[in-house]
Amino acid sequence: MYICICKSITDSQIRAAADNGDDTVRKLKKKFGLASCCGSCIEMTESILKENMSKRAKPTLYIPSAA
């Protein structure tokens, strides 16, 4: 799905870039030119980045202490 119509940037491109370290709107703007025209893609991009980060978050291991 196209997220940034002005620059023809898709959600797949955003996810792939985030996986490779471009995980902020600022970095994506520098890489792709995202949000450099009308800016209507910022909200959806932030949502995709948050979703991507939550999927990559490692679960916390609970180790009970001895009583």
Asked, for residue 65, whether it belongs to a domain, the answer is no
The per-residue DSSP string of 3-49 comes to EETTTTEEHHHHHHHHHTT--SHHHHHHHH-TTSSS-TTHHHHHHHH
Tokens of 49: 């980045």
Q: What local confidence, expressed as pLDDT, does residue 65 receive?
A: 85
What total of structural domains would you count in the chain?
1
Mean pLDDT (the chain, rounded): 91
End-to-end CA distance of the chain: 53
Query: What's the pLDDT at 62?
Result: 80
Q: What is the pLDDT of residue 56?
A: 77
Tell me how far apart the alpha carbons of residues 11 and 14 are, in angstroms, rounded to a whole number: 5
pLDDT in tens, the chain (67 residues): 999 999 999 999 999 999 999 999 999 999 999 999 999 999 999 999 999 988 877 677 788 888 6
In a domain, 43, yes or no: yes
Domain with residue 9: its CATH number is 1.10.10.1100
Query: In which domain, by residue range, is 37 found?
Result: 2-56
C-alpha–C-alpha distance, residues 15 and 53, integer Å:
10
